[in-house]
Structure formats: C-alpha cells, structure tokens
Structure 1
Amino acid sequence: MFFLSDMLNKKLNLPKPSEALPGRAKAIATAPRHFVSKRPLKGPYPEELETAMFGLGCFWGAERLFWQIKGVWVTAVGYAGGITPNPTYQETCTGLTGHAEVVLVVFDPGIVSYGDLLRLFWESHDPTQGMRQGNDVGTTYRSAIYTSGDAQHRAALASRDAYDAMLRGAGHGRITTEIAQAPAFYFAEAGHQQYLAKNPNGYCNLKGTGIACTMPVAIT
C-alpha cells in the first residue's frame, strides 16, 4: 500500500532535479512527416509561420483538434516543461521527468490567430483540475500553455484571466493552467504522432466545461 501511495504522490507532484530521470543526449526517433498533411514534422517551417505549444491532457486527442484548423500548417506531439532531456513516453508516464504531454502547433497568423488557438484550447478541456484531466491522472496531463515571445505570453495571461472569471461565474474552480515561455520541446515517438488519424477509434478523453470562452478585445 505504501508503494502505491508513493507512486501516486510522485505522479501528482513535479520531481525535484535530484529525483528526475537522467534521460539521454540523443533525440529519440520520431516520424519524418505528418501522417495527414505529409509536411515535414521538424521543418524547416516557412518563415511567415509562428509556433505555439499547448498541453490539455492526453496529446492524442489534443493534436487532432489543432491539425483540423484552417491555417495550421503542421502539428506534432511531444514532451515539454520538465527536466529530463529527450525522454521516452514510458519515462514521462512515471512522473519522474517533469514533462507535460503537449502539442506543437505551427500556424499561419494571417489565416488563424493565436487568439483563435487559445479559444480552442480553453474550450476543449477543463483547465481547473490540476495534475489531471478527467480519468488521466498525473503531472503529464496538466494544463499548460508554453508561449513563443512576449505577445503570445501577454495574450495567454489575459485569456486565462478572462476565462477564469467566466468559469468562476458558472460555479467552477480556479484555473490551474501553467503558463510559461516555451521550454525545450522533445518530439514523441512516431507511434504517437497523429495517433487518431491512424487509429480513428482510439482513446480520446478530451471534455470541455461547456463554458464558451470570449477573448478580450486586445487579443487577436
């Protein structure tokens, strides 16, 4: 019983550097191209595009949300926000790498705005649950926005504050979403990339709160 309790505690708390798994210097292998769009997963990306990074639970269903949006050039799933370099999926599941499962979104801001992506993010999961998303429990499933540049960071914070007020008004708890400048992104293994395109009946646990997110006027 102590062992199970200890493991659950590790999954619900981010590890200290001294507790984190060592990882490796070399990147793990991933798919060369997006299964749906056939575009190069790791780029190079056209200069006019921007990148965004979102964590909203299991990355299989989260990625599908974004690759279907007009103006999104390519998506990829991976690990970010932790300590262990180049982690594997099995390692992140232990809770001892500190990473969240995230989606890298490469998009054309002339077609889809960062505000549109934020709205999709907030409305597609419950950002009040801490280290879990529904039945998926652990630090890897935490809600997170990792921003590219000051403009994205300000927009993410403003949208969080606005949506937090909406959720509280509807009787929900406070938003627990982590918002930080984008850390290193480690591409997940090939089998996880565009998983639900390869497995249409595969697992997806995404469920929003049902509360619409109205972006502040300043966010485009």
Structure 2
Amino acid sequence: MPFGRSRDLRLPTPEEAPPGRTAPPYEVPGKHSVLGTALQGPYPEGCEVADFALGCFWGAERRFWQLPAGIWTTVTGFQGGRTPHPVDDEIRTGLTGHAETVRVVFDPAKTTYERLLRLFWESHDPTQGFRQGNDVGTHVRSILFTHSPAQRAAAEQSRTRYQHALSASGYGEITTEILPAEDHPFYPARGYHQQYLDKNPGGYCGLGGTGVSCPTGATGASD
C-alpha cells in the first residue's frame, strides 16, 4: 500500500494537524504516462473535473484511465484534510486528515458523470469506514468531492440507489461522504505516485468491490 496505517481511526482535530506549506514542496510530472495528456491542465474546453476517494489511489487511478472512452486525464493526490500542501510522511501519520484521491478529467460528450459514479461504487466497498480491505486508516476512506450542484445531486441519488442494492445483498450502511470540492483543495501527489501501476504493472493494488452492481438512474450512464 502507498501509505502506512494511520495512528488511529479518527480524523484529526485542527490542533493536531501539521501547519503545512504555502506552496507545493515538489514538482509534478507534466504528462500522463498512459494517455499523454496534461496532468494539471490546461484542459480542453468542455471537459469536466470529478474527484473520487476510494482507497489506494494506485489501483483506483488505473480503473479510471482504463475506461474505454471519455477520459482526458487522471491525477493521484490528496484531498479532504486540514494541512495545506501535505507531504507523504505527514499523511502517513493520519494527522493531516487527507484521503487518497483520484482526480478525473472527462469529456461529458463521450462519457457521463453517472458512468464514473458507477465505476466508483463498484470498485470498492463503501461500507467499511476507515478501511479498504487490508488498508486501514483515514487516508483510505470513501469520499465523493463534487464540483457542481449537478454533480452533488447525481452523487446523492447514486448513493441512495447503491444503498438499496447493497442492503438487498446483506451489506451495511454506506459511509461515503459527499463533500464540495471547493472547500477541500486537491493536492497532486509526487511523480512516483502518478500512474504507478503503469510503471509498476505488478505493483500493489488493494482495491476490491462488493460484487454488487450499481443501478443506473433515469438518465442512465453510457460507456
């Protein structure tokens, strides 16, 4: 796994969080090693951004870039914490409060946010709280960071639908948070973590879904 176990299974208080930095402490590669597109922009006009935290971001990123159409770029990073511009060692302590996150830039003319949501739900177990399989800690919790009212509405609706499906299969309550991205800055990870499983095909991936399919809504979700 990319990071060690957090100190315990709770989010840090503001007083516990490291102070962080006013600027990024490292450079991020310019291009996606698989797609060849810009990691941090500029992005093509009409593309949308969506952020997903679902456990180890190495495997999560690969699942998104492998979609057959509509993905412009993917970026691994950290989101949802208190420390500005955190570094790996701080995140390992659990004191920054960040979750491993994948930023997905997509073309809504070729795929849909609902399609990405379906992949999100089906790629992990959203009922596990501060855990995904063997990975334990606040950094592997499940979160949807939304970039618009439309994304938030779609996320909430899909969570409700998936809860019904999970409950029917004997699973417990979904612990996934839905948070506004504007209140939770995204900090790209070091180059080592970008497209890690492209560079290390046999590398670790602890993600595992429930095997329960996510129902689509009235608007559907096309590939």
TM-score (norm 2): 0.93
Letter in 1 for 2:186: F
Alignment of 1:54-69 (within 5 A): 54-69=52-67
CA distance change for structure 1 residues 11 and 34 in 2, over 3 Å: closer, same or farther?
Answer: farther
Question: Which one is further off, 23-32 or 48-57?
Answer: 23-32
How far apart are residue 27 of structure 1 and its match?
Answer: 0.9
SS in 1 for 2:120: helix
CA distance in 2, matches of 1:99, 1:197: 24
What is residue 53 of structure 1 aligned with on the other side? 51
1:24 aligns with 2:25: no
Task: Kindly provide the CA deviation profile for residues 103-124 of structure 1, in whole angstroms up to 9, marking residues without a partner as x.
Answer: 0000000001000000000001
SS in 2 for 1:11: coil
What is residue 145 of structure 2 aligned with on the other side? 146
Give aligned pairs, total.
214
CA contact under 8 A between 1:155 and 1:219: conserved in structure 2? no
What is residue 117 of structure 2 aligned with on the other side? 118
Task: Kindly provide the CA deviation profile for residues 156-188 of structure 1, in whole angstroms up to 9, marking residues without a partner as x.
Answer: 000001100110111001100011111210000
| Aligned with residue 42 of structure 2, among 44, 48, 61 | 44
CA distance in 1, matches of 2:195, 2:31: 10
Paired-residue identity, %: 55
CA distance in 1, matches of 2:202, 2:108: 32
CA contact under 8 A between 2:54 and 2:120: conserved in structure 1? yes
SS in 1 for 2:129: coil
CA contact under 8 A between 1:11 and 1:96: conserved in structure 2? no
Task: Kindly provide the CA deviation profile for residues 63-85 of structure 1, in whole angstroms up to 9, marking residues without a partner as x.
Answer: 00001111100000000001000
Q: Report the aligned-residue RMSD.
A: 1.4
How far apart are residue 218 of structure 1 and its match?
Answer: 4.1
CA distance in 1, matches of 2:213, 2:170: 14
CA contact under 8 A between 1:79 and 1:101: conserved in structure 2? yes
CA distance change for structure 1 residues 9 and 36 in 2, over 3 Å: closer, same or farther?
Answer: closer
How far apart are residue 11 of structure 1 and its match?
Answer: 3.4
Listed as ranges, the gaps of 5+ residues in structure 2 are none
Listed as ranges, the gaps of 5+ residues in structure 1 are 1-6
